Amino acid sequence: MEFKAITDPKARHGSACAVVGVYENGDLGIGARHVEAQIGGVLSKLHASGDFSGKLGDTLVLPHLRGGAAARVLLVGLGARARFGRKPYRKALQAAAAALAKTGAADAVLYLALEEVEEVDLLHRARAIAEVFSSHFYRIPDLKSAAAPKPPALDLVSVAADDARGAKAVADGLRFGQAIASGMALTRDLGNLPPNVCTPTYLGNRAQRLAKEWPSIKTKVLDHAAIKALKMGAFLAVTQGSEQPPRLIVCEYRGGRKNSAPICLVGKGITFDAGGISLKDPPGMDEMKFDMGGAAAVLGALRAVAELALPINVVAIVPTCENMPSGKAVKPADIVTTLSGQTVEILNTDAEGRLILCDAITYSRRFKPAAVVDVATLTGACIIALGNHFSGLMSNDEGLAHELETAGVRADDRAWRLPVGEEYADQLKSNFADFANVGGREGGACTAASFLWKFAKDLKWAHLDVAGTAWLSGAQKGSTGRPVPLLVDFLIKRAHAA
């Protein structure tokens, strides 16, 4: 789908659909004024008859119009004008995308970015359009034998602005939104692929391809021998029960000054988490193919950064392997030496994410990073704490935590701060090693983060637990692409502050 910013009314002539907002009580949005002449008194009649009241998310297509700029007008309910903020705006966009997809319109002019939205400027209003529309048209990689349903006709979305200055903001916003959406699509594809396809080897190859597609990215993929030579004892323990060889993927994007310290993004890449010897219960185990959601998100974010050519340095680090039971698998009570030299007693082999991440965080030190952000589907406990709405956010640095939290707000991809540190780390006591990999049921998301915290001393570090947000279950089962929007927003801000 292509997006463009327009101002010249002539450019809109002959469009297949004009999309305009209507507030509650038939109160016309700014955009609706542009088509007032065409739809004339229809709107007040619709309101009087109760057929369209402008309730948030309601839509109505007025087809077969004559004598105007568009062949159809799509009315989109915006709800109460006084409450038109970030969330209702998104909801209206989602409704508009869904309604447009059902029409045969191949192109549309959107007037929705013209509406005032509390705390959201024009650039971000346009960015949301590209994100929401692209996401709505995302399709899961097709592995069904029946012919795929015909995709919607829509392939050009023009977003109207008032003047040239507005058009510049809209164009920038659309560019950001498209890059975020492309990054999310990559993340979602990787998550949705079955685990017999999306193996550690596959992820490594995909990362190599990313470097071919974007010359600003350099990818290095380390195999088992190289990981062993590095002495990543915790990572090696997790992979040892699997027939699939592990990979350590390192993608460097250099868009900033040569000597400016990079941001390291570390993503958990468990391509299937059976739990190992501490085997999981069968129900829902299929969803553990999504346990590489963190890896997929950091690769997706890097793709977006490259597409936007952001003036910043970013390194994505992905430890990836399976967590399987076998005669060779790591056992409860085994003790391993991590890359940092600290020893860990593995009491539960299902707490494997922290084991591969601790070595990857230690590895990130060689880049002398300005900050390290790890992204992981780390704990079921985080889902209990926050549900599917917020990612968990833990950090040893107030400034970094604040940056990520506000990025999540701007990107509509929110994270909620949770505690981390000594109190929770104390729960990881072991009689036999420096510490254990589990700390009991209480505060499970916080003890997991505090395990990582022990490896992040003297780094500016943050952890995003995306166990509840990286994918949806049930009828909607599938990868969400989160937290790509949060990460990219954070990096855009960092790049432009630098």
Tell me if residue 10 falls in helix, strand or coil.
Answer: helix
Segment lying near Zn ion (by CB under 5 A), choices 225-233, 346-354, 397-405, 445-453: 346-354
Name the closest residue to Zn ion (Cβ): 273
Q: How far is the CB of 356 from Mn ion (least distance, A)?
A: 11
> 348 touches which of Zn ion, Mn ion, ligand BES, none (CB within 5 to 8 A by kind)?
ligand BES
Q: Among 94, 348, 388, 430, which residue sits at the site for ligand BES (rule: CB under 6 A)? A: 348
Angle, CA of 33, 37 and 38, to the nearest 5°: 105
Closer to Mn ion by Cβ: residue 358 or 486: 358
Angle, CA of 320, 471 and 131, to the nearest 5°: 105
> Any catalytic annotation for residue 354?
yes
Q: Among 313, 377, 396, 427, which residue sits at the site for ligand BES (rule: CB under 6 A)? A: 377
Q: How far is the CB of 471 from Zn ion (least distance, A)?
A: 13
Given a contact cutoff of 8 angstroms between Cβ atoms, the answer to whether 31 and 111 are in contact is yes
Name the closest residue to ligand BES (Cβ): 380
Span 212-271, contacts to Zn ion by CB under 5 A? 270
Q: Is 291 in the site for Zn ion (CB under 5 A)?
A: yes
- Residues 463-492: x where in contact with ligand BES by CB under 6 A, - otherwise, as a string: ----x-------------------------
Catalytic residue among 168, 280, 417, 493: 280
Tell me if residue 3 falls in helix, strand or coil.
Answer: strand
Q: How far is the CB of 428 from Zn ion (least distance, A)?
A: 17
Q: Is 319 in the site for Zn ion (CB under 5 A)?
A: no
**Distance (Å, whole) CA 429 – CA 384:** 24
Catalytic residue among 127, 188, 354, 454: 354
Span 162-221, contacts to ligand BES by CB under 6 A? none
Segment lying near ligand BES (by CB under 6 A), choices 173-181, 251-259, 361-369, 379-387: 379-387
Q: Is 351 in the site for ligand BES (CB under 6 A)?
A: yes
Span 391-450, contacts to ligand BES by CB under 6 A? 438, 444
Closer to ligand BES by Cβ: residue 95 or 467: 467
Q: How far is the CB of 470 from Zn ion (least distance, A)?
A: 11
Query: Which burial class, exposed, middle or buried, applies to 8 when counting CB atoms under 10 A from its CB (0-12, 13-18, 19+)?
Result: exposed
Segment lying near ligand BES (by CB under 6 A), choices 110-118, 239-247, 310-318, 345-353: 345-353
**Distance (Å, whole) CA 130 – CA 132:** 6
Query: Which burial class, exposed, middle or buried, applies to 478 when counting CB atoms under 10 A from its CB (0-12, 13-18, 19+)?
Result: middle
Q: How far is the CB of 378 from ligand BES (least distance, A)?
A: 6
Given a contact cutoff of 8 angstroms between Cβ atoms, the answer to whether 268 and 321 are in contact is no
Q: How far is the CB of 22 from Mn ion (least distance, A)?
A: 49
Residue indicated by tokens 């340095």: 313
> 444 touches which of Zn ion, Mn ion, ligand BES, none (CB within 5 to 8 A by kind)?
ligand BES
Angle, CA of 312, 317 and 322, to the nearest 5°: 155
> What is the DSSP track for 211-268?
HHH-TTEEEEEE-HHHHHHHT-HHHHHHHTT-SSPPEEEEEEEE-S-TTSPPEEEEE-
The tally of CA atoms less than 13 A away on the side-chain side of residue 294 is 36
- Residues 257-296: x where in contact with Mn ion by CB under 5 A, - otherwise, as a string: ----------------x-----------------------
Given a contact cutoff of 8 angstroms between Cβ atoms, the answer to whether 428 and 451 are in contact is yes
**Distance (Å, whole) CA 44 – CA 40:** 9
Closer to Zn ion by Cβ: residue 252 or 273: 273
**Distance (Å, whole) CA 171 – CA 31:** 18
Span 315-374, contacts to Mn ion by CB under 5 A? 350, 352
**Distance (Å, whole) CA 379 – CA 373:** 17
DSSP at 143:
-
DSSP at 405:
H
Residue 67 one-letter amino acid: G
Q: Is 57 in the site for ligand BES (CB under 6 A)?
A: no
Q: Among 115, 131, 273, 322, which residue sits at the site for Zn ion (rule: CB under 5 A)? A: 273
Q: How far is the CB of 350 from Zn ion (least distance, A)?
A: 7
Q: Is 273 in the site for ligand BES (CB under 6 A)?
A: yes
Segment lying near ligand BES (by CB under 6 A), choices 61-69, 375-383, 396-404, 481-489: 375-383
Name the closest residue to Mn ion (Cβ): 350
> 467 touches which of Zn ion, ligand BES, Mn ion, none (CB within 5 to 8 A by kind)?
ligand BES
The tally of CA atoms less than 13 A away on the side-chain side of residue 399 is 6
Given a contact cutoff of 8 angstroms between Cβ atoms, the answer to whether 274 and 289 are in contact is no
Q: Among 29, 204, 233, 353, which residue sits at the site for ligand BES (rule: CB under 6 A)? A: 353
The tokens for 475 are 């009828």
Segment lying near ligand BES (by CB under 6 A), choices 132-140, 303-311, 371-379, 413-421: 371-379
**Distance (Å, whole) CA 368 – CA 409:** 29
> Any catalytic annotation for residue 144?
no
**Distance (Å, whole) CA 22 – CA 393:** 37
CA-based nearest residue to 128, from 164, 162, 157, 154: 157
Binding region for ligand BES (CB under 6 A): 273, 291, 348, 350-353, 377-381, 383, 438, 444, 467
**Catalytic site residues?**
280, 354
Binding region for Mn ion (CB under 5 A): 273, 350, 352
